[in-house]
Structure 1
Amino acid sequence: MIQLTRRHLLTAAGAAAVAAGLSACSDDGEGSTEGLDGKRAGAMEGFKAGDQFKATEPLSFSIMMLSNQAYPYKADWPFFKELTARTNVTLESTAVPGSDYNQKRSVVVSAGDAPMIIPKTYHPDEEAFIAGGAILPVSDYVDLMPHFKDKVARWNLQANLDGFKAEDGKYYLLPGLHENTWQDYSLAVRTDVMEKLKLTAPTTWDDLTGVLREMKKAYPDQYPLSDRWSTPPQPGANNLFNLVGTSYGTRAGWGWNPMEWDATAARFVYSGSMDQYRQTLEYVHNLVKEGLLDPESFTQTDDVARQKFATGKSFVMSCNAQTLVNEARKDIAKLPGAKVAKMILPIGPAGATLPGHTRLENGIMISKKALESKNFVAMMQFIDWLWYSDAGLMFSKWGIEGQTYTGKVDDGSFKLDPGIKWAGLNPDATKDLQVDYGFFNGVFAYGGSTAMLNSQFSEEEKAFQAEMNKREIRPVAPPAPLTIEEREQVTLWDSALKDHVFQNTLKFALGQRPLSEWDAYVKELEGKNATKYVDIVNKAYERYKKAHG
């Protein structure tokens, strides 16, 4: 979340192996608290939803801590001191720079050297560690987590969680939970240029093309759209492909997933060969062909993209709520009269819809060795309170009532202390909620109610969210967990397929390969076993449906 991009690429992996001595579970793989004798030291008796967790003795838990470049890790953040005061828990952090996080996580988890708590993991990355038994099937232990269970039930999230299940019917990642679907990423546009050219805000992607054409007419030597978030260079994987692909009803760019659920046909299809994927590429290619989209958008660094925007060489660029305020507005501050706003996400052929899978966030893996601890139950209660209780979420996001904020989110009286800034709130304050205090850290602060989500937004962003909330939510894909043998097989195919899709995505977009060769490209995917891949996934879907309903 925040500064980390969401490149959720399929991780090649093995399927689940159940470690000896794990607790029994119910038919649907959801938790049981049996078999935990000797592992309850420090735990609270009768811990239930709404309770403040506080260990009955001082405890410490190891955690892998992503150090965000925008707010680098500090051991002396007030967040940690107050967390210990409230919970009697001290976190022993292994801090890792964001650029190295995924690689470091893979190495230490696979080697069995990971900390007990491993957050900031995007599904399906956890699947890489299931077969080796390095992580726990967390669904076995959700009965220890009353806040998590309460939100799943009240917010009707079980179908979303089902999509995380492995072939054994269990899931191995505790995701952040959102009450509703929400859309953060869109495009930032220079509204002063729009006003000067008498242009109206685009409703559809075709409308956006028209806006860019008018900008090009007025500034023929410039590219109206020069985008960011394409580095480190990864052909075909960026935010623009994701935004357009979502609007066309497929997975592309950051949102890439090799399998897309076709609800009409009730089967999975290969995303990179869908006609909707071709339409996505055609749209982006036409922007490049007409000189409306800078072809360097797919390779340039963020600094270069921001510099073009800051100097008036471009007028449109990807953004989210925070980068709009923290970066784009600051970048154009020296341009007289320059203004920028986040565009309402344009509508494409998929209609005014959003994908349902965005209700689950990145989440937490639990190291197998955590189960060896006499404090295991207390650790699960601690995780439940900090990541899933309203009080824990309020603390991790906003800090300490009376010190960093006042009021409540549920009655709209919440106010961040005027001496502290965060994103668009109190931009002239001298203290930063993340940098100086350690709150609103992406390792801890994600998910929550819509009211809590709205508490972080300016009135401008609330208006954006209100428009997004009017859109229909598309159904989530059903579970299709693979066996160990099936996963080993598709692992052999996936990397080559993905590379071919991404390389040709960029070639088609830039015009280096004509779209008249689309059928040939699809046959190339078939030659790389895309059809066999889809058949295996659909077979797994049918098998799971028969076994679990």
Structure 2
Amino acid sequence: MSRRPWRRVATAAAALLAATSIAACSDDPSDAQDLSENRVGAMAEYAAGTQFKATEPLSFSVLYNNHPNYPLKNDWLFWSELTSRTNVTLDPVAVPLSDYNQKRSLLIGAGDAPLLIPKTYPPDVNTFVSSGAILPVSDYLDLMPNLKDKIEKWNLKPEIDTLRQEDGKFYLLPGLHEKPWHDYSLAVRTDIMQELNLEVPKTWDDLYTVLKAMKAKYPDVYPFSDRWSQPNPAGNLLNLLAVSYGLEGAGWNFQHVSWDPEAKKFEYTGATEKYKQMLQYLNKLVAEKLLDPESFTQTDDVARQKLANGKSFVISANAQAVVNDYRPDLARNANAKIAKIPLPVGPAGEINPASRLENGMMISSKARDSKNFVAMMQFVDWLWYSDAGQEFAKWGVEGTTFTKDAAGKHTLAPDVNVIGLNPDAPKHLQKDFGFYNGVFAYGGTPELVQAFFSPEEQEFQQVMNARTPKLPPPPYPLRDEEREQVSLWETPLRDHVYQATLQFILGQRDFAQWDAYLAELKSKNMDAYMETVTKAYDRYQQANG
């Protein structure tokens, strides 16, 4: 996740900048233009907990991330029931999941983007801010009482501040979690663990011990052969290790900078001692033939085949992969059992690395000129942020897709399946009804987020929730010219880190060459990159304290 900030030069400029900062950071829409001409269809008395219903039929375009697991259908109950409840019809502009980011950029660049642009992760917003194509949504939070209520009630301001740009505003309406929810970890063949009388590994060092024992018993096997390596080699594994070592992220969540809370400064992630130690750990696993070197290049299918054929016992996992992939893959082996283990603990201690912010919504700046703008913001607030809207997007329609008892406990209808909860049911919540759709359903209370979790996943979450939440790093918003410059540096830097990471892990490069590697990063403008980040951080601290 990206963060940013700012500084004063001359006294007069400083005063002006400070005034601008205070106004922008107040999120007070009084700074925005008069909205009296933009209230057609809006509710006069709309508040948190109110059912939104437009005063006349409205239609809003939305960029739709078309997931291959539940392809878009025009006759989904989701669409008709949404219109019935809100008097709003959504007009989806469908884009295949595989092309979503590229198509989104093309549409925004051409000025043809739909009004609502969901499934956007925080770093993706930075590219579009300077163009003026995206609305500074922080100016209009008073139109969104459910969102404001959750930010205040869940004490989300520190996380929200990480979204702010150099102007003090933010341009993304993020998905909000009351509690951090961490899903990704490792899955382990528990029957092999029992056979060898091994305990579930609590730390990464424990995992090394477990792998050694597996290798001793099964010398022809690589105990650990991983997936999720395309397009980013060992995308999940490197990210898990990075956060365990106290870094912001690596692999598929590579972050150029990480915050050192003791030194109170940012460091270039791929140049830190922590990153080196992480690579040394993986190099040890590869050198001792505990980790399959093909893990860094093989496809998911190959990794799954090795697990299914007893050629490996450990693999990256999330909750759905265990249920939908690994257990069916292992079904022909009656003795085989596999489970996801809590994220192993590393030098950073027992932390829950998950952010409470998730992908969210950009809004086209064209929407601000619409006569229905206020109604649209109220609608977005209801569907994505109200308790009722979140329940609807996830569970569907009471009496049709779910039931609810007097205590408020939800139960999926017996003829409806999702994530294997009712495996023999003839209907599917996502495929046949359009609910629990990643475009509309994300975030919320733990009860809502974990509603479809199996008992074992609930157990996993209890372990993770008992850990200390990882604090977000401080913001460092970049100015437009700075962002343009660092974007030129980022790709060569990232590519070199990726290349060297594999070389060190696979033993193709000795760690005696670490200083030479750091010099190579310097030659690719690492120091200038960090100087820019540090200046931006200092500016933000001086302006906001």
- Equivalence map 1:4-43=2 (5 Å): 26-32=23-29, 34-43=33-42
Indicate the SS of the match to 2:442. coil
Q: With the length of structure 1 as denominator, give the TM-score of the two structures.
A: 0.92
- Cα distance in 2, alignment partners of residues 454 and 427 from structure 1: 19
- Cα distance in 2, alignment partners of residues 455 and 63 from structure 1: 27
Cross-structure match for 1:66: 65
Task: Give yes or no for contact 2:3–2:164 (8 Å, CA) kept in 1.
Answer: no
Asked whether 1:84 is paired with 2:76, we answer no
Of stretches 95-104 and 284-293 in structure 1, the one that deviates more from structure 2 is: 284-293
- Equivalence map 1:70-469=2 (5 Å): 70-231=69-230, 233-235=231-233, 238-250=235-247, 251-355=249-353, 358-407=355-404, 411=407, 413-469=409-465
Cross-structure match for 2:13: none
- Cα distance in 1, alignment partners of residues 424 and 281 from structure 2: 40
- For residue 457 of structure 1, report the CA deviation from its aligned partner: 1.3
Residue type at the aligned position of 2:349:
G
Asked whether 1:488 is paired with 2:484, we answer yes
The change in CA–CA distance for 1:301 and 1:29 in structure 2 (over 3 A counts) is: farther
- Cα distance in 1, alignment partners of residues 228 and 265 from structure 2: 32
Residue type at the aligned position of 2:305:
Q
Residue type at the aligned position of 1:527:
S
- The runs of 5 or more residues in structure 2 that have no matched partner are 5-20
Show CA shifts across 1:441-480 (max 9, x none).
1111111012212322111111110100111122211111
Show CA shifts across 1:40-60 (max 9, x none).
111111210001111111111
Indicate the SS of the match to 2:335. coil
Indicate the SS of the match to 1:189. strand
Show CA shifts across 1:364-416 (max 9, x none).
100111122111111111111111111111111111112111126x9562211
Indicate the SS of the match to 1:50. coil
- Cα distance in 1, alignment partners of residues 269 and 275 from structure 2: 7
Cross-structure match for 1:21: none
- For residue 358 of structure 1, report the CA deviation from its aligned partner: 0.9
Identity %: 57
- Cα distance in 1, alignment partners of residues 293 and 543 from structure 2: 49
- Cα distance in 1, alignment partners of residues 232 and 144 from structure 2: 39
Cα RMSD (Å): 1.9
- Give the count of matched residue pairs: 526
The change in CA–CA distance for 1:417 and 1:370 in structure 2 (over 3 A counts) is: same
- Cα distance in 2, alignment partners of residues 436 and 283 from structure 1: 46
Indicate the SS of the match to 1:361. strand
- Cα distance in 1, alignment partners of residues 293 and 82 from structure 2: 47
- Equivalence map 1:497-536=2 (5 Å): 497-536=493-532
- For residue 436 of structure 1, report the CA deviation from its aligned partner: 1.6
Q: With the length of structure 2 as denominator, give the TM-score of the two structures.
A: 0.93
Indicate the SS of the match to 1:66. strand
- Cα distance in 2, alignment partners of residues 430 and 217 from structure 1: 47
- For residue 127 of structure 1, report the CA deviation from its aligned partner: 0.5
- For residue 101 of structure 1, report the CA deviation from its aligned partner: 0.7
Residue type at the aligned position of 2:260:
D
The change in CA–CA distance for 1:214 and 1:335 in structure 2 (over 3 A counts) is: same
Indicate the SS of the match to 2:199. coil
- For residue 541 of structure 1, report the CA deviation from its aligned partner: 1.0
Indicate the SS of the match to 1:71. coil
- Cα distance in 1, alignment partners of residues 26 and 166 from structure 2: 11
The change in CA–CA distance for 1:332 and 1:31 in structure 2 (over 3 A counts) is: farther
Task: Give yes or no for contact 1:142–1:149 (8 Å, CA) kept in 2.
Answer: yes
The change in CA–CA distance for 1:306 and 1:411 in structure 2 (over 3 A counts) is: farther
Task: Give yes or no for contact 1:10–1:258 (8 Å, CA) kept in 2.
Answer: no
Cross-structure match for 1:19: none
- The runs of 5 or more residues in structure 1 that have no matched partner are 1-7, 12-23
